[in-house]
A and B are shown apart, each in its own frame.
Chain A
Amino acid sequence: MTITKVLVPSGVLGLGFDIEALRRGIKNKPDIISIDGGSTDSGPASLGSGTSKYSRAAIKSEWKTLMQARKEANVPLIIGTCGTCGTNSMVDWMEEITIELAEELGQSLKIAKLYCEQNIDFLKNKLKINRIFPLEPAPTLNVHLLDDLSHVVALAGAEQVIEAINTGADIILAGRTTDTAIISALPLMNGVDPGSAWHGAKIAECGALCSSNPTSGVVIVEFDKTGFNVEAMSDSAICTPESVSAHMLYENADPYILYEPGGYMDVTNACYQSINSRKVRVQGGLWVSSKKYTVKLEGARVSGYQTSLLVLLRDNNYVKNAIKWTEKLSIFLSKEIKQRMNLDSQEYSLNFRHIGLNAVLGDLEKNIGNPSEVGVLCIITSKTPNVCTEIAKLINPFLLHFPLTVDEELPTFAFPYSPVHSDRGCVYEFALHHVLELNDPMDAFQIKTLEV
């Protein structure tokens, strides 16, 4: 059996990588270049709105480098989870960027697109016939929740990525995929033992994060019959058994088990050994196939609209009593809002965060010190943007002047800018933590190809 080499330029497109390391990677003659394009890690806004977290300029400049590298290596280039969230709109966005670059670089290409977004009626039917199952912990799922979702994607696994590779495309633009599937697919196609294929994919999913220098980006994984070797391509990075095995901990609730479509991998008995000063060999990962073929679903819905205000307290007495001040202010404001706007407190949320005291940890904070100033961030959420702006304007003079006691001269706090309110627009929330059972892995996915 021949060796399958997968080059991973970085953990995600848009974060940058070491160009010299990429060159060394290409010299190693990879069989495929695989890079991830997204994650849920930045929050629900990307999926909710179907937009990228990274700038188009950053994506385009890095994609250009990778398209040039692909041409030189003459192997497929695949990106998973296009545009942070992997919606259909983001696959098309990457296609637009790819076509622009193909013209600029004078490249002729075959492109395959793997679409992973889910039709709500399709999901309603699956829910009706009990093919959607909750993970722990999961919001309660019903047809009303499905109707509320602005976008739902299913995470493609190796099966769907293999279908896309089989089109013979030079470039594969995939919607939502698991981070690992874009790396494991080719080794699996080539007959690598699935335990090693998935384990190697997991180790390399974040690029050089499994090495001593995470920001260098580029790693190469060589899969063979009995395991895989992983090596960082930058001069400044080395892989050690510790750096490699520790990657199993990263963003994983369980350091040994990782669920994928069609089964799970178990690395409890895996063995990590240095081959030389830069390279690590790994063996012993197991793959356990499941009876049902399931794919994970991700969905986001609008949770409301937001407007925020920031007021800064520097007066010693107010800094010392900042929490008490906002408690009194909050009671006062809810009465004002009821009286002037006829809004009950259930119809909006008025949330105060004390920057300098416990804005990050809230009730969990144990170490409140004596700051010289406190920022009070006021976040208003409601069903419409107009209500948020109205509340913000209504509470504005009280944020500026609200006194702790009735008999004191009216205080005036610091507003850092004008206007003091910032309309944040629509906000979203994750609303699915479920898996969908499929008879055929392609039932919830589509592939389209084009030549440019």
Chain B
Amino acid sequence: MYLLGDKVKKIRSKNAGPFWITIDIFCGSKEAFKEVRHSLDNIQISQLFQIPGQTLKRFEIESLNVIKFSFPRKVIQGHIHDRDMHGAQLAVLLSELRL
């Protein structure tokens, strides 16, 4: 068991326009990339962010050792129930995910 944030170099999240969130996991090495690619599945991501699985996009970018997820925002950016205008703190949920 380990925390994902301890295994990889950096995890960041950000709006991709007002209607989407995108998350980049910079694994930092081939080994970490392989390990995370294997251990982190899409169901875990949809559960963590409470989003429907069919809206989740996953990209594995081997040349950069990056795994990327994008999904429509649950609450549109700036809506009265939005809690994080830039969506940049959502990455913490992944950093603190136990694998």
Is B32 an interface residue when CB atoms closer than 8 A count as contact?
A: no
Whether the Cβ atoms of B18 and A40 lie closer than 8 Å is yes
Whether the Cβ atoms of B63 and A245 lie closer than 8 Å is yes
Which listed residue (B20, B48, B77, B80) contacts A253, Cβ 8 A?
B20
**Cα-based distance from A252 to B24 in the complex (angstroms):** 10
Is B76 an interface residue when CB atoms closer than 8 A count as contact?
A: yes
Whether the Cβ atoms of A430 and B18 lie closer than 8 Å is yes
Most chain B C-beta atoms within 10 Å of own C-beta, residue among A41, A360, A363: A41
Whether the Cβ atoms of A43 and B80 lie closer than 8 Å is no
A423 to chain B, nearest CB (A): 15
Whether the Cβ atoms of A360 and B84 lie closer than 8 Å is yes
Is B99 an interface residue when CB atoms closer than 8 A count as contact?
A: no
| Chain A, 110-159, CB within 8 A of any chain B CB | 135-138
Whether the Cβ atoms of A41 and B15 lie closer than 8 Å is yes
Whether the Cβ atoms of A363 and B50 lie closer than 8 Å is yes
Is B7 an interface residue when CB atoms closer than 8 A count as contact?
A: no
Whether the Cβ atoms of B83 and A359 lie closer than 8 Å is yes
Which listed residue (B16, B19, B70, B77) contacts A137, Cβ 8 A?
B19
A/B interface sample: 22 pairs, CB < 8 A: A40-B15, A43-B78, A43-B85, A137-B19, A138-B19, A249-B61, A249-B64, A250-B24, A251-B22, A252-B22, A304-B80, A349-B80, A351-B80, A360-B84, A360-B89, A361-B83, A361-B90, A364-B49, A364-B93, A429-B76, A430-B18, A433-B18
Q: A40-B18, A251-B22 are in contact. Are A364 and B48 (CB under 8 A)?
A: yes
CB-based closest 5 A-B pairs: A253-B70, A43-B78, A44-B78, A253-B16, A430-B18
- Residues in B with CB closer than 8 Å to A17 are none
| Chain A, 6-49, CB within 8 A of any chain B CB | 40-45
- Residues in A with CB closer than 8 Å to B70 are 253-254
Which bucket holds chain A's interface residue count?
A: 35 or more
Whether the Cβ atoms of B80 and A303 lie closer than 8 Å is yes
Is A291 an interface residue when CB atoms closer than 8 A count as contact?
A: no
Given contacts A250-B24, A364-B49, A379-B80, 20 further A-B contacts (CB under 8 A): A44-B78, A136-B72, A245-B63, A249-B22, A249-B68, A251-B14, A251-B16, A251-B17, A253-B17, A254-B59, A255-B61, A306-B80, A353-B83, A361-B83, A364-B48, A364-B50, A367-B96, A430-B77, A430-B78, A433-B19
Is A294 an interface residue when CB atoms closer than 8 A count as contact?
A: no
- Residues in B with CB closer than 8 Å to A360 are 83-84, 89
**Cα-based distance from A367 to B86 in the complex (angstroms):** 21
B86 to chain A, nearest CB (A): 6
- Residues in B with CB closer than 8 Å to A361 are 83-84, 89-90, 92-93
- Residues in B with CB closer than 8 Å to A42 are 85-86
Is A198 an interface residue when CB atoms closer than 8 A count as contact?
A: no
Whether the Cβ atoms of A254 and B81 lie closer than 8 Å is no
**Cα-based distance from A138 to B92 in the complex (angstroms):** 27
**Cα-based distance from A148 to B50 in the complex (angstroms):** 31
**Cα-based distance from A428 to B80 in the complex (angstroms):** 9
| Chain B, 54-99, CB within 8 A of any chain A CB | 57, 59, 61, 63-64, 66, 68, 70, 72, 76-81, 83-86, 89-90, 92-93, 96
Whether the Cβ atoms of A40 and B81 lie closer than 8 Å is no
Is A366 an interface residue when CB atoms closer than 8 A count as contact?
A: yes
Q: A353-B83, A360-B83 are in contact. Are A253 and B57 (CB under 8 A)?
A: yes
- Residues in B with CB closer than 8 Å to A253 are 16-17, 20, 22, 57, 70
Contact with B along A229-273 (1 / 0, CB 8 A): 000000000000010011001111111100000000000000000
- Residues of chain B having any CB pair with chain A under 8 Å: 14-20, 22, 24, 26, 48-50, 57, 59, 61, 63-64, 66, 68, 70, 72, 76-81, 83-86, 89-90, 92-93, 96
A159 to chain B, nearest CB (A): 21
- Residues in B with CB closer than 8 Å to A419 are none
**Cα-based distance from A249 to B77 in the complex (angstroms):** 19
A236 to chain B, nearest CB (A): 20
Whether the Cβ atoms of B18 and A251 lie closer than 8 Å is no
Q: A349-B80, A429-B76 are in contact. Are A242 and B20 (CB under 8 A)?
A: no
Whether the Cβ atoms of A44 and B18 lie closer than 8 Å is yes
- Residues in B with CB closer than 8 Å to A306 are 80
**Cα-based distance from A364 to B26 in the complex (angstroms):** 23
Whether the Cβ atoms of A366 and B93 lie closer than 8 Å is yes
Is A416 an interface residue when CB atoms closer than 8 A count as contact?
A: no
- Residues in B with CB closer than 8 Å to A353 are 83
Is A362 an interface residue when CB atoms closer than 8 A count as contact?
A: yes
| Chain A, 414-452, CB within 8 A of any chain B CB | 427-430, 433
Is A87 an interface residue when CB atoms closer than 8 A count as contact?
A: no
**Cα-based distance from A299 to B49 in the complex (angstroms):** 27
- The chain B residue with its CB closest to the CB of A256 is B59
Most chain A C-beta atoms within 10 Å of own C-beta, residue among B48, B68, B89, B90: B68
- Residues in B with CB closer than 8 Å to A135 are 19
